[in-house]
C-alpha cells in the first residue's frame, strides 16, 4: 500500500483550493484504489470529514515531521502555491516543506501546479533549486512551465498538464436557466465596486439574471453583498457551505459565467458553461488562452467601458460552450495519466 502526503492551501474555506484537493484525491484513488492519503490542512477535522483521508495540522511542525516519516511520497498539490506576489512568507512556507521532505529522505513531486508570479530574484533562485530536486514536475499551464524553464528548472522534468478540477463533475447537473449569468468576484486593488454594480445593473436591464458566486468565505461574500447593496436590480447570491460538486451543479444551471476567481472559470469549463475572464493575475489570462475563452477586461477596466465586450461574449456563448464540451475527454485523460505517473514514481 502506497502512502501519500499532500500539501496545499487546504482547510481555509476556499472553494477553488478545496475543489483542487477533491480532484487530486479522486485521481490518485482512481490510479491506486488502496493508497493511503494524508493531507496537511488548516482544519484537519474538516478535511478528514470531507474527503475520508487522514489529515494533520499544517502549522504544527511535529505533526508534519511525523507524517513525513510515515509517507512514501510528498506531493505539492495544485493551485498557485509557488508565488511571491502576495509576499514572500507563503512561498517560504512551501519551500521549507519541500526541504524538510528532502531531509527526511522522501521523494517529492509537483501535481499540476501554477507557478508564479515570482517577482524577486531570490524567490526565483530558491524556487528553481527546490523544483530541480523534485522527482517529477507537472504544471497546469504552458506559462507556468515556461517560467520554470526561465528560472533554471531542468526542462527534462517538466510536463504541461491541466488543472485537476477540470475532471470534476456533478451528478446533479441542472438544466440551464435562460439568461442566468454567474458572476464570481474577489476583493482586489483596482476593483471599483460602484462601477461593477453599474455594469451588472446594465446587464440586468438587458435581460440577464445576475447570480453572484462567493468562492472564498467570508471575504468574497462580503464583497458580493456590498455589490448587491449598490445595485438597483436584485441579484441572487449563491448559498454558503456548498461542496465543489454542488457549485459545479450551480454553474451548470447558468448560461454563462464572468469570473475573477480562477477556479470559477475552471469549474465553468468542467460544467460546460461558457465563461469570460476578468484579469487581476496572469493565471486568468493563461487559462483563457488555454481554453480559447475570452478575456473580457483587466480588473481596473471592469466598468461600463467593457459592456460591449461582455455583450459580444454573451451573443457568442454557444461557440465557447461547444469548445469546452469537446475538450472534456482530453482533460480527463491527461489528468488520469498525471496521477498514474505520480503513483508509479513511488518505489
Mean pLDDT of 332-339: 93
pLDDT at 347 over 80: no
Q: What is the pLDDT of residue 88?
A: 82
Query: What is the rounded distance in angstroms from the CA atom of residue 134 to the CA atom of residue 153?
Result: 10
Residue 174 has pLDDT above 80, yes or no: no
Give the model confidence (pLDDT) of 232-277 as tens digits: 999 999 999 898 889 999 999 999 999 999 999 999 999 999 999 9
CATH of domain 3-161: 3.40.50.2000
Instruction: Give bridge partners of residue 136 from the DSSP assignment.
Output: 109
Crossing angle between the packed helical segments 15-31 and 44-51, to the nearest 10 degrees: 50
CA distance 116 to 122: 13
Cell numbers linked to 295: 478575456
CATH number assigned to the domain with residue range 180-327, chosen from the 4 options 3.10.20.30, 3.40.50.2300, 3.40.50.2000, 2.130.10.30: 3.40.50.2000
Q: Could you tell me where in the chain the CATH 3.40.50.2000 domains are found?
A: 3-161, 180-327
b/e code 64-86 from CB counts within 10 Å (16+ = b):
beebbeebbbbbbbbbbbbbbee
DSSP 231: -
pLDDT at 170 over 80: no
In the beta sheet, which residues pair with residue 194? Answer: none
User: What pLDDT is stored for residue 325 in this prediction?
Assistant: 87
Give the whole-angstrom CA distance, residue 319 versus residue 336: 27
SS3 211: strand
* Beta-bridge partners for 75: 6, 109
Amino acid at each position: 500500500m502506497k502512502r501519500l502526503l499532500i500539501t496545499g492551501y487546504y482547510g481555509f474555506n476556499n472553494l477553488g483550493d478545496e475543489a483542487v484537493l477533491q480532484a487530486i484525491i479522486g485521481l490518485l484513488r482512481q490510479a491506486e484504489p488502496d493508497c493511503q492519503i494524508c493531507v496537511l490542512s488548516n482544519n484537519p477535522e474538516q478535511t478528514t470529514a470531507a474527503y475520508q483521508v487522514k489529515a494533520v495540522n499544517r502549522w504544527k511542525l511535529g505533526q508534519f515531521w511525523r507524517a513525513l516519516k510515515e509517507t512514501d511520497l510528498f506531493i505539492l498539490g495544485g493551485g498557485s502555491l509557488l508565488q511571491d506576489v502576495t509576499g514572500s512568507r507563503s512561498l517560504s512556507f512551501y519551500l521549507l516543506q519541500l526541504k524538510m521532505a528532502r531531509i527526511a529522505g522522501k521523494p517529492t513531486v509537483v501535481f499540476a501546479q501554477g507557478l508564479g508570479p515570482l517577482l524577486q530574484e531570490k524567490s526565483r533562485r530558491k524556487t528553481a533549486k527546490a523544483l530541480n530536486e523534485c522527482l517529477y514536475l507537472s504544471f497546469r499551464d504552458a506559462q507556468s512551465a515556461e517560467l520554470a524553464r526561465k528560472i533554471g528548472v531542468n526542462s527534462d522534468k517538466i510536463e504541461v498538464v491541466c488543472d485537476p478540477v477540470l475532471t470534476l463533475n456533478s451528478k446533479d447537473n441542472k438544466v440551464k436557466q435562460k439568461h442566468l449569468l454567474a458572476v464570481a468576484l474577489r476583493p482586489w486593488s483596482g476593483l471599483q465596486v460602484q462601477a461593477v454594480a453599474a455594469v451588472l445593473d446594465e446587464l440586468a436591464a438587458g435581460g440577464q439574471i445576475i447570480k453572484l458566486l462567493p468562492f472564498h468565505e467570508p471575504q468574497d461574500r462580503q464583497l458580493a453583498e456590498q455589490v448587491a447593496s449598490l445595485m438597483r436590480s436584485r441579484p441572487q447570491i449563491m448559498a454558503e457551505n456548498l461542496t465543489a460538486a454542488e457549485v459545479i451543479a450551480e454553474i451548470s444551471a447558468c448560461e454563462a459565467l464572468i469570473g475573477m476567481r480562477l477556479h470559477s472559470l475552471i469549474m465553468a469549463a468542467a460544467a460546460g458553461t461558457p465563461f469570460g475572464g476578468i484579469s487581476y493575475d496572469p493565471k486568468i489570462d493563461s487559462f483563457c488562452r488555454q481554453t480559447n475563452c475570452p478575456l473580457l477586461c483587466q480588473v481596473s477596466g471592469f466598468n461600463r467601458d467593457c459592456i460591449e465586450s461582455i455583450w459580444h461574449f454573451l451573443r457568442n456563448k454557444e461557440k465557447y460552450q461547444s469548445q469546452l464540451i469537446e475538450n472534456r475527454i482530453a482533460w480527463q485523460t491527461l489528468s488520469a495519466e498525471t496521477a498514474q505517473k505520480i503513483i508509479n514514481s513511488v518505489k
